[in-house]
Structure 1
Amino acid sequence: MAGPISSTAAPAAAHNPGTRYGPALTLLASLFFMWGFITVINNTLLPHLRSVFELSYTQTTLIESVWFIAYFVASIPSAKLIERIGYQKSLVTGLLIMAAGALGMMLAASIPSYGVTLLMLFVIASGITLLQVAANPYVAVVGKPETASSRLNLVQAMNSAGTMLAPMFGAYLILGRSKGGTAQGDVVLTQAERLADAQSVILPYGLVAVVLVVLAVVIARFPLPAMGASATRLAKEERKKHSLWAHRNLVFGVPAIFIYLIAEIGVANLFVNFVSQPHIANLTHEQAGRYLTFLWGGMMVGRFAGSAIMQRFDAGKVLAAFSIGAFIVMMITVFAHGEVAMWSLILVGLFHSIMFPTIFTLGIKGLGPLTEEGSGLLIMAIAGGALVVVQGYLADRFGLQTSFLLTAVCELYILFYALWGSKPTHALPDQQIG
Structure 2
Amino acid sequence: MFISTARWAATPAGNAVVADKSDAAVEEECGMKGEQARGFRPAIILTVVLFFLWGMANNLNDILIAQFRRAFSLSDFETSFVQQAFYIGYFVFAIPAAIVARKRGYKTAIVIGLTLYGIGALLFYPAGHYGEYRYFLAALFVIASGLAFLETTANPLIAELGDPAGAARRLTLAQAANPVGTVAGVLIGKYFILSELGHDPAQIAVMAPAARTALLREEVAAVQLPYLAIGLVVLAVAVAALLVRFPRHRDEAEGAGLAGVASVLRQPVLRFAVIAQFFYVGAQVGLWSYTIRYAQANVAGMIERSAADYLFASLVLFGIGRFVGSALMARIASATLLAVFATVAALLTLVAAFVGGEPGLWALVAASFFMSVQFPTIFALGLRGLGPLAQSGASLIVMAIIGGAVLTGAMGRVSDLAGINMALLVPVLSFAVVLSFARMAARRA
Shorter-chain TM-score bucket reads 0.7 to 0.9
Corresponding residue for 1:29?
A: 48
Alpha-carbon shift at residue 424 of structure 1 (Å) = 6.5
In the TM superposition, what are the counterparts of 1:231-310 in structure 2 within 5 Å? Answer: 232-233=252-253, 243-277=263-297, 279-280=298-299, 282-310=301-329
Call closer, same or farther: CA 1:266–1:242 in 2, change over 3 Å: closer
Matching residue of 1:56 = 75
1:156–1:363 CA distance, 2 compared to 1 (3 A):
farther
Distance (whole Å) between structure 2 residues aligned to residue 255 and residue 142 of structure 1:
33
Equivalence for 1:430:
none
- 2:301 alignment partner, SS class: coil
CA–CA distance in structure 2, aligned partners of residues 315 and 156 of structure 1: 20
Aligned residues between the structures: 410
**How do residues 123-202 of structure 1 correspond to structure 2 at under 5 angstroms?**
123-136=142-155, 155-176=174-195, 182-183=197-198, 185-186=200-201, 187-188=203-204, 190-202=212-224
User: Structure 2 matches for 1:115-130, cutoff 5 A?
Assistant: 115-130=134-149
Deviation per residue, 1:258-283 (Å, 9 max, x gap) = 11111011111111111012x43531
Give me the whole-angstrom Cα distance separating, in 2, the residues matched to 1:148 and 1:333: 40
**1:66 aligned residue (68, 72, 85):** 85
Q: Does 1:380 align with 2:395?
A: no
Asked if structure 2 preserves the Cα contact closer than 8 Å seen for 1:295 and 1:346, the reply is yes
2:440 aligns to what?
Answer: 420
Instruction: Verify: 1:110 aligned to 2:129, yes or no.
Output: yes
Among candidates 210, 218, 221, match of residue 243 of structure 2 = 221
Following the alignment from structure 1 to structure 2, what is the Cα–Cα distance between the partners of residues 243 and 362? 17
CA pair 26-422 structure 1, distance change in 2 beyond 3 A = farther
What secondary structure, in the 3-state scheme, does the structure 1 residue paired with 2:385 have?
A: coil
1:343 is aligned to: 362
AA aligned opposite 2:285: I
Higher relative contact order (CA 8 A, sep 6+): 1
CA distance in structure 1 between the aligned counterparts of 2:396 and 2:55, rounded to whole angstroms: 20
Quote the residue 1:329 is aligned against: 348
Taking the TM superposition and a 5 Å limit, the aligned residue runs for 1:11-30 are 14-16=25-27, 18-19=33-34, 27-30=46-49
**Code of the aligned partner of 1:335:** F
Runs of 5+ consecutive residues of structure 2 not aligned to the other structure: 1-6, 11-17, 206-211
Q: Which runs of 5+ in 1 are unaligned?
A: 1-6, 426-434
Question: SS of the counterpart of 1:182?
Answer: coil
- The TM-score, its normalising length taken from structure 2, stands at 0.83
Residues of 2 paired with 1:258 and 1:244: CA distance?
17
* TM-score in terms of structure 1 length: 0.84
CA contact (8 A) 1:274 1:400 kept: yes
Q: Separation in 1 of the partners of 2:186 and 2:382? A: 31
Root-mean-square deviation (CA, aligned residues, Å) is 3.3
Q: Does 1:404 align with 2:424?
A: yes
Distance 1:420 1:394 in 2: 30
Worse-superposed segment, 370-379 or 324-333? 370-379
Change (3 A) 1:74 1:265: same
Q: Distance in 1 between matches of 2:354 and 2:117?
A: 40
Which range is displaced more, 63-72 or 261-270?
63-72
Question: Kindly tell me: are residues 92 and 142 of structure 1, through their superposed partners in 2, closer, same or farther at Cα, counting changes over 3 Å?
Answer: closer
Name the SS for the 1:252 alignment partner.
helix
Letter of the 1:58 counterpart: F
Partners of 2:84 and 2:404 within 8 A in 1: yes
